[in-house]
Amino acid sequence: MTRPRQLADAPTLTATVPRQLVHRAAVAETLLTGWRRTGNDRFSVSAQWPRAHGLHVSPDWSAYDPLLVVETIRQSGTLITHAEYDVPLDHQFVLQEFQVSTAAGRLDVGPLPAEPEVRLVFTDVQYRGPRPAAARYTAHVLREGERVATADVAFTCVSGPVYRRLRGGRAPDTVTAIPVPPGLPPGDVGRALPSDVVLAATDRPARWQLRVDTAHPVFFDHPLDHVPGMLLLEAARQAARLTTGGRRRPVAYHAHFHRYAELDEPVWIEAKGEHGADVQVAGGQGESTVFECLVRTA
């Protein structure tokens, strides 16, 4: 007689967390698969990295890009803020600082999708009433028990009505992005597709115009009223590659976000090499600096 199938015989099933908890519209761009609390303000988040990705896996499918680590950590902080600190889903998150360092040579793509663990510790949680209004968290990303990245992140969060007042009526359906200028050759910035090039040439060396294509399915996974931080970090990545002549690859980022980068004004990216392995990148709009990022290369 065939014995009944036991629960222990069943395969372990994995699904992504609800995409709304990580501010994604596409399930394919949702990297997290679960979470649990491990202590006071301490959490463990599970993730899965695909073996192929249009942006965050190398064209030859051999290595994960450090910006995939950045996106994983960003999603982890957003998830925990909603799920464990009860911040409503209509609240907007404003990134202030993101510092991340990855271990060179430990982001290779294996025969199966990688399933890293992200260990988070929330510190300096500031409350407005019963819910957090700002926080900082550290993250350690482990792959098969081995640390592959560390990060420190600071952000604020505001309610939908406060955000709308803060933006002064700017919304995805009221702001039109400026035309996208022709991009640099993809190979110059380490990309395979012209659509993934985010820098356009100018008449000045080490200065480029940011290409803001609101149809890009990764950077603009859903409509936005401003340039997303991940697009600015990709600009820093590409500028660092150009500054080092393609001989070095980014392994760490330390970014400060000063103000929103608007869609309807050009953003100018400038870079200069520092100390051989470091590249300082800045993005400006009008008379203001919108972000600064120190990129460490290896």
pLDDT per position as a tens digit, 43-54: 999 999 999 998
- Residue 29's contacts (CB-CB under 8 Å, 6 or more residues apart) are 19, 218, 221
> Which residue ranges make up each domain of the chain?
11-165, 169-297
- At 12 the pLDDT is 61
Asked if 96 and 154 touch (Cβ cutoff 8 Å), the reply is: yes
- Residue 286's contacts (CB-CB under 8 Å, 6 or more residues apart) are 265
Residue 179 amino acid letter: P
- For domain 169-297, say whether CATH 3.10.129.10 is its number: yes
Distances (CA, A) of 277 to 203, 246, 253, 259, 280: 26, 12, 12, 27, 10
pLDDT per position as a tens digit, 135-177: 999 999 999 999 999 999 999 999 999 999 999 989 999 999 9
- Enumerate residue ranges in the chain where pLDDT < 50: 1-8
Residue 201 amino acid letter: A
- Residue 105's contacts (CB-CB under 8 Å, 6 or more residues apart) are none
Residue 28, class by beta-carbon neighbours within 10 Å (0-12 exposed, 13-18 middle, 19+ buried)?
Answer: middle
Residue 254 corresponds to which tokens in the numbers above? 């330390």
- At 298 the pLDDT is 92
Decide if 11-165 and 169-297 have a common fold.
yes
User: Of the candidates 229, 237, 230, which has an alpha carbon nearest to the alpha carbon of residue 260?
Assistant: 229
What pTM was computed for the model? Answer: 0.94
The second-level CATH assignment, the architecture, of 11-165 is Roll (3.10)
- Secondary structure element (H or E) that encloses residue 66, with its range: helix 66-83
- At 274 the pLDDT is 73
- Secondary structure element (H or E) that encloses residue 201, with its range: strand 199-201
For CA atoms 67, 199, 297, 95, give the dihedral sign: negative
